[in-house]
Amino acid sequence: MDYIQEGFKEALKLLIGFDKEVYGIISLSLIVSTTATIIASFLCIPLGIHLGLKEFKGKRAFSRILYTFMSIPSVIVGLVVAILLSRRGPFGKFDLLYTPKAMIIAQTLLVTPLILGLTYSLSKNRGKEIERIGQTLGGNKLDIIILIIKELKLDLMVNIVTAFSRAISEVGAVMIVGGNIRNRTRVITTTISMMNSMGDYPMAIALGIVLLIISFGINSLIYSYSGDD
Amino acid sequence: MEISIHNLKKYYGEKLVLDIEELKIKRGRITGLIGPNGSGKSTLLNIISGLDREFLGTVKYDGKLLDKDIYKKMTLVFQKPYLFRRKVYENIEYPLKVRGVNRDERRERVKNIMERLEIEGLKDKKGHLLSGGESQKVSLARALVFNPELLLLDEPTSNIDPESVKVMEREILRFNEETNGTVIIVTHNMEQSERLCHDIIHLER
């Protein structure tokens, strides 16, 4: 039991002492996952709303495929991105593998089906009524998409937070495309995984605490916002 | 706005729910649509409003088929109004905003219509938290605020208190008199149709 207590003490020392490496890892994690979530949200929210409202051939099949991709394993996304970005791959010339950019690409692809699927489902179920009202009040297509985003903003925020949580807590994709290189591509989850295998618990515990604090902070924010509403 | 309907047929699956050979709704008149449940009153309203476009036949607005310009000149008030999750003021302001009306004019027009419908006190309340009667009045205010040429009302006063019904009927009449706007109202209430309507159309099942 002593080593766990020691682990916690050391973890707190690292956090309170603003350990450069620990905070570097935390900030890279936040940058990568936030950027990926923002990119995916900008692309998928308008598209998900549009597809949810639109009637098209094969909509049921599309729904099934989309919902399947929502739970795609992160290692598969990592593998696909790694193959595409490797020297011999179609995008090898850009020299992106083992860089934070590659990690952002992988996490964007990981959360894209999640945000698209959740938004699509929301729009399919609740967007039609808002669309009808928007139409009868004279809104054009863009007005209506903006109206739906505003009306469903709380649900959309929950979707975005869900996607961010998936991004920041995944380890497979960033490990494969980032390579867990010290001071370059090391993020919270890859560090915890590595420290655990090395038996070096203080930093793993410190980063675990930070991960929990981030989750708690984001959920509190959403909760207080919905309470206001 | 004058509405001319020619050989209109509407099917749900294989079932024919609406069959109108010829119908003219005159400009500047209040026309009541009455008939039993399932006679197609709301379906007809949805077709005229452009929400339902899957039908056979033609519907013309002042001799023209539905286009973007006509779309902007009409509105529909539903039996169960949906108000946006924002302030009542912003709900009523919405149709003016999408028509590019400037802020000062929007403020003036929203204030006027709120006074007329006696809902000034609701200005800062959230639309989705209002009672049934309040929601209906706000919904009517949102429809009247941009002075539509065609106002479609689907049982707008069902299940609300008599005082609110009185205010709403007064404002529908005033709108029609002041702007010469065409009104089509679906109602089950014969007394209401007598109080409001110049013309009545009976739809049979």
pLDDT in tens, A79-135: 999 999 999 999 999 999 999 999 999 999 999 999 999 999 999 999 999 999 999
Interface test with B, best of A129, A136, A143 (most B CBs within 10 A): A136
Nearest to A151 among B49, B72, B85 (CB): B85
Nearest to B71 among A130, A138, A151 (CB): A138
Considering all CA atoms of chain A, what is the largest pairwise distance in Å, rounded to the nearest integer? 69
Nearest to A137 among B50, B86, B95 (CB): B95
The predicted pLDDT at position B38 comes to: 83
Pairing of strands B30-34, B56-61: unpaired
Mean per-residue pLDDT, A18-46: 94
Q: How confident is the model at residue A227 (pLDDT cuts 50, 70, 90)?
A: low
Query: ipTM of the predicted structure?
Result: 0.88
Pairing of strands B199-202, B56-61: unpaired
Interface test with B, best of A137, A140, A150 (most B CBs within 10 A): A137
Contacts of B85 in chain A (CB under 8 A): 151, 229
Q: Note the pTM of the prediction, 2 decimals.
A: 0.81
Q: Do A138 and B142 touch (CB under 8 A)?
A: no
Distance, in Å, from the CA atom of A170 to the CA atom of A166, rounded to the nearest integer, reads 6
Instruction: Please tell me which residue of chain A has the smallest CA distance to B52.
Output: A132
- Residue from A54, A180, A41, A172 nearest A118 by CA: A41
Cβ(A180)–Cβ(A190) below 8 Å = yes
Helix (H) or strand (E) holding B34: strand B30-34
The predicted pLDDT at position B25 comes to: 93
Residues B125-169 pLDDT 10s: 999 899 888 999 999 999 999 999 999 999 998 878 899 999 999
- Choosing among 3.40.309.10, 3.30.70.260, 1.10.3720.10, 1.10.8.10, the CATH entry for A1-226 is 1.10.3720.10
Considering all CA atoms of chain B, what is the largest pairwise distance in Å, rounded to the nearest integer? 52
Q: Is the pLDDT of residue A1 over 70?
A: no
Domain range summary for chain A, segments of one domain joined by +: 1-226
Q: How confident is the model at residue A226 (pLDDT cuts 50, 70, 90)?
A: low
**How far does B56 lie from chain A, in Å, by closest CA?**
20
Query: Between A73 and A224, where is the model more confident?
Result: A73
